[in-house]
Amino acid sequence: MHELVIRGGTVVDGTGAAPRVADVAVSGGTIVEVGTVDSEGAREIDATGQVVTPGFVDIHTHYDGQVTWDDTLSPTSWHGVTTLVLGNCGVGFAPVAPDKREWLVQLMEGVEDIPGTALHEGIRWGWETFPEYLDAIGSEPKALDVAALAPHSAIRAYVMGERGARNEPASADDLREMAAIVRDAIDAGAVGVSTSRTILHKALDGEPVPGTFAADDELFMLGRALADVGRGVFELAPAGIQGEDLDAPDVEVAWMRRLAAETGRPITYGFLQHDVAPRDWERLLEVASQAHADGVPLRPQITGRPIGMLLGLQGFNPFVTRPTYLALKDLPLEERVAELRKPEVRKAILSEDDLVPLPSYIGMGLDRIFELGEPPEYEPAPEASIAAEAGRLGREPYDLLYDMLLRREGHELLMRPLVGYSDLIMDPIREMLLHPATVLGVGDGGAHVKVICDASTPTYMLTHWVRDRSRGPKLPIETVVQKMTKNNADLYGLSDRGVVAPGLRADLNVIDLDHLTLRAPEFRHDLPGGAARLVQEASGYTATIVAGTVTRSNDTDTGARPGGLVRSGSTISGKAAR
């Protein structure tokens, strides 16, 4: 008798092969049979009319602090993800000297917009070195598996102190010490190293993160350390990622190609369409395409939907720096809404100028702000913008915006796409998704918690790209599933997962695709200290299974914790490598 049999589902196995109806049998945390399974299961799931996929692999999260207090890693685990990678963009919490913990918290708060109060109250410190950090996060079972990148910023600051924090050049001795730390991290199980090159990533004090201006010798030191050990991915947020420097992308791709060719180690980097040069992505993708054809492992990391800001009264909105609004901003939401509905308050706010101008790349042009809605619409047409709606109604656009923010007693959310939506249609994203060199990531689970909620991207990939898209061609389900499973697992060397096949780890989803629903994001005060964050739920996941154990049943946490730390070079089929 098998421990678990999933009966009669449409298996989309992660390889890109066409879907097929089959049973899946699991024993000992491992898939043992795919086809017609005659034996019974101690537990059986009837998947007739439903889709069976590998568990999704999310390669871009920022749960570096949350992993120490939340064994579910929500909301990512609510969306079929069974393995995630943290430590992206060069920021994290190890290595760290005990007297520098506060500095790393401020760095993470500044770069990834995670409330410092939550990090201060939530993180359970107990490490200094990166191997000790891995031991700490691997000491407690979890609802899914976690892998970690070693963050360049923390390593640089640990080795160089204030010189590293202020981005002074590294000496030869500094480079040797940093390389030794990277090698030790990979030996201990890190799945790679990460860095940030964009000037948009800054600590709370306004300083660019350590490593932002690192010279070639320092960058090549990181890559060569991976090559020394023979495994690991180099991940980065490149310069110019949001159009802040139009010359930067060509410079970045040039050194990345040289390094990947020299070391043979994969380099994955944020790759997005931005409004400043909306056609640049085509040329730069062709460069990556040529590298891919030449066997050089450059892997542009793309998103499945536009990345932007969710605007509302509970988070950021276009009135936050106007004097009258500032005087009200700390009131509880109910009281603030009551004040904002007063005619004299409304008149004052609408007539005032911003005390602090917004960064140019955020601009609040109302022709690019849309009502998100329920279910949320991430590919709105130009005629759905607030400016267009105001024109139809004969109203002033900001007057309409003000009213929209007060809807649903102040819980309404509006969307301002920042990148990936220059043409107000997702056709460029579709082309990127279809490209063989790209990988799907940039979901930022755990980060930017009051303005972004893209941890739900796996669910969106299925609801929008496979089933519901109306403004252009959809994508085959086998392509979408492969992008979220085997492709990402292979990139990070997680060879025991990502495919529904005998002998591999039984990380699986059973999904009622016909009824799969992505809810609108909502604010909850559930971080340590009562700090607020945006979360986004889904319904339609009949079961999410980690190492053969059902962790979520009908969109509800079962309490099972079969996951843990995945160490590079030691993944074990059917068992979390700790």
Provide DSSP, 443-512: --BTSSTTT---TTHHHHIIIIIIII--SS----HHHHHHHHTHHHHHHTT-TTSSS--TTSB--EEEE-
Last residue of a domain, one of 391, 419, 447: 419
Whether 569 is in a domain gets the answer no
pLDDT at residue number 265: 98
Residues 49 and 66 in one domain: no
pLDDT at residue number 200: 84
Question: What pLDDT, in 10s, does the model give residues 360-381?
Answer: 657 778 999 999 999 999 999 9
Residues 40 and 96 in one domain: no
Instruction: Classify residue 138 by its DSSP letter.
Output: T
Q: What residue type is 434 in one-letter code?
A: L
Give the β-pairing of 145-148 and 81-86: parallel
CA-based nearest residue to 550, from 41, 14, 20, 17: 41
Share of the chain above pLDDT 70, in %: 97
In 125-164, the DSSP E strands lie at: 145-148, 150-151
Q: What is the DSSP string of 221-250?
A: HHHHHHHHHT--EEEEE-TTTTSS-TTHHH
Residues 192 and 93 in one domain: yes
Tokens for 62, please give them.
Answer: 């920022």
Question: What pLDDT, in 10s, does the model give residues 465-486?
Answer: 999 999 999 999 999 999 999 9
Residues 249 and 332 in one domain: no
The residue range of the domain holding 213 is: 56-306+420-491
Q: What residue type is 196 in one-letter code?
A: S
Residues 380 and 511 in one domain: no
Whether 224 is in a domain gets the answer yes
Whether 187 is in a domain gets the answer yes
Q: What are the residues whose beta carbons fall under 8 Å from the beta carbon of 18, sequence distance 6 or more? A: 478
State how many domains the chain has.
Answer: 3
Residues 157 and 296 in one domain: yes
Residues 433 and 473 in one domain: yes
Q: What is the DSSP string of 537-569?
A: -EE-EEEEEETTEEEEETTEE-----B-BPPTT
Whether 572 is in a domain gets the answer no
Last residue of a domain, one of 399, 419, 439: 419
Helix (H, G, I), strand (E, B) or coil at 152: helix
Tokens for 27, please give them.
Answer: 């024993």
Which residues of the chain, if any, have pLDDT below 50?
Answer: 572-578
Give φ, ψ of 22 to 5 degrees. Answer: -160, 160
pLDDT at residue number 574: 33
What CA–CA distances, in Å, run from 40 to 23, 37, 99? 11, 8, 57
CA-based nearest residue to 82, from 537, 503, 494: 494
What CA–CA distances, in Å, run from 478 to 483, 491, 494, 542? 9, 18, 20, 19
CA-based nearest residue to 10, from 138, 527, 18, 441: 18
Q: Cite the DSSP H helix spans in 230-361.
A: 248-263, 280-293, 323-328, 333-340, 343-351
CB 199 within 8 A of CB 208: yes
Give φ, ψ of 319 to 5 degrees. Answer: -100, 5
Residues 288 and 263 in one domain: yes
What CA–CA distances, in Å, run from 358 to 204, 316, 319, 320, 321? 17, 11, 11, 10, 9
Whether 325 is in a domain gets the answer yes
Helix (H, G, I), strand (E, B) or coil at 411: coil
Residues 296 and 322 in one domain: no
> CA 107 to CA 178: how far, in whole Å?
19
Residues 428 and 522 in one domain: no
Residues 50 and 60 in one domain: no
Q: What CATH number is attached to the domain comprising 293?
A: 3.20.20.140
Last residue of a domain, one of 375, 391, 419: 419
pLDDT at residue number 445: 97
Whether 577 is in a domain gets the answer no
pLDDT at residue number 244: 63
Question: What pLDDT, in 10s, does the model give residues 154-177?
Answer: 999 999 999 999 999 999 999 999
Whether 571 is in a domain gets the answer no
Q: What CATH number is attached to the domain comprising 535?
A: 2.30.40.10
pLDDT at residue number 301: 98
Residues 200 and 66 in one domain: yes
Whether 178 is in a domain gets the answer yes
